[in-house]
Chains A and B, each alone.
Chain A
Amino acid sequence: MAHTGTSARREFLAGCRDEAPLLLGVAPFGMIYGIAALAAGVPAWLAQLASAIVFAGAAQLVIVQMLAAGAGFVPIALTSGLLNLRHVLYSASMADYVHHLPRRWRLLLAYVLTDEAYAVAVLRYQQRHAGEADQAEQADSGTQAGGMDQVADLRHWYFLGAGFTLWAGWQLSTAAGLLFGTTIPPEWELDFAVPLTFIALLTLLLRERAGQAAALVAALGALAFAALPYKLGLVAAIVLGLTAGAWTVRRLEHAR
């Protein structure tokens, strides 16, 4: 059906369009990452490659921050491996929407399943009812035989459009940071933007008591275990923070 092709393209472009405003928020992180990577001594080509193979802003910032602090292989792998674990949640949340797709589609969509692409795509999937007028209109202009489900199925193109836009924005802003980074004198201390970014994100995340307990204990732990080699103290601090968070959740549940 020729009509499916144009609808697919329409979904893809709609995904690109809806993801675009988020790039305003993402681009500064990409640039900060690029600049901080150079400051940490990462070769530019490798910093750019990392944006393609890791493709997770927070983890990439954590990696360069830890490299700059002289952390070893194992602590960095453990910390960023833990931090990225949240993607399993996104994956679980998307499972019902994409389980019918062929494996090659799921392999592709998994690659673009990042925070910001997830945020946009999950809204499109949840809009099912709100979008029915739109879908009915499309069905009217095409063959009726396809029915609602076939139109609904094309939302993976929307997901791909959102993911692709984010991917392109992330690569370009990384490149901009790397280009910019070589010209900036170290006195500007732009590497300080990384802990500032963590402070900003932390404030947004600390809404509930258990999360606050986890953060406080992890921060104190980072100081208490500062002397551990290879920055392993950071891993210990995070694990201790998670324990404190879980303990607080349990205690609040008992108090109820």
Chain B
Amino acid sequence: MSTTTLLLLLALVGGLTYLYRYAMIGLFASRSLPAWLHALCRHIAPASFAALTASALFVAGGEVVFAFDTPRPWAALVAVLVAWRTRNVLATIGAGMAALYLLKLLFPT
């Protein structure tokens, strides 16, 4: 993506985000939020993060690749376990990166 296109994209996302933030305190200040929007918003973050994580781990060049002979899926598994046990964001990122480095050290390619 060219720098100009990216700048346009960021301006669009930024403008849209600002409109969201201003929506109920400015644009539609006298109205209440529709129930469907409330319900929709609840699942957007889990759905987005799950799709992006699955894609980051198992999609390469438009194809599904279960590369279990590389460190990343296993490091991600360690991160999932730590996240589940500790519910701590920094511990999860730290453990995942540590597992990645350890695996790379133990099994150099």
Contact = CB atoms under 8 A, between A and B. Distances in A.
A56 B23 CA distance: 16
Contact of B64 (A46, A223, A249): A223
A212 B5 CA distance: 35
Interface residues of A, number: 93
Contact of A95 (B14, B24, B51, B52): B24
A49 B76 CA distance: 31
Contacts of B6: 42, 46, 67
Interface in A221-248: 221-223, 226-229, 231, 233-234, 237-238, 241-242, 245-246
| Nearest 10 Cβ contacts at the A-B interface | A241-B47, A53-B14, A245-B43, A200-B92, A215-B50, A91-B24, A110-B22, A203-B83, A219-B54, A218-B47
B3 A81 contact: no
Contacts of A252: none
Interface string B70-109: 0010011001100110011110110011001000000000
Contact of A189 (B23, B63, B76, B100): B100
A178 interface: no
B5 to A, nearest CB: 6
A192 B7 contact: no
A23 to B, nearest CB: 13
Interface of B: 1, 3, 5-18, 20-26, 29, 32-33, 37-59, 62-64, 72, 75-76, 79-80, 83-84, 87-90, 92-93, 96-97, 100
Interface of A: 25, 28, 32, 42-43, 46, 49-50, 53-56, 58-59, 62-63, 65-67, 69, 72-73, 76-77, 79-92, 94-95, 98-99, 103, 106-107, 109-111, 113, 189-190, 192-206, 210-212, 214-223, 226-229, 231, 233-234, 237-238, 241-242, 245-246, 249
16 contacts: A46-B6, A46-B10, A49-B10, A65-B52, A73-B9, A87-B21, A91-B25, A111-B21, A192-B72, A193-B97, A199-B83, A202-B83, A218-B47, A218-B51, A241-B43, A242-B47
B90 A28 contact: yes
A92 B13 CA distance: 20
A215 B55 contact: no
A34 B46 CA distance: 23
B1 A238 contact: no
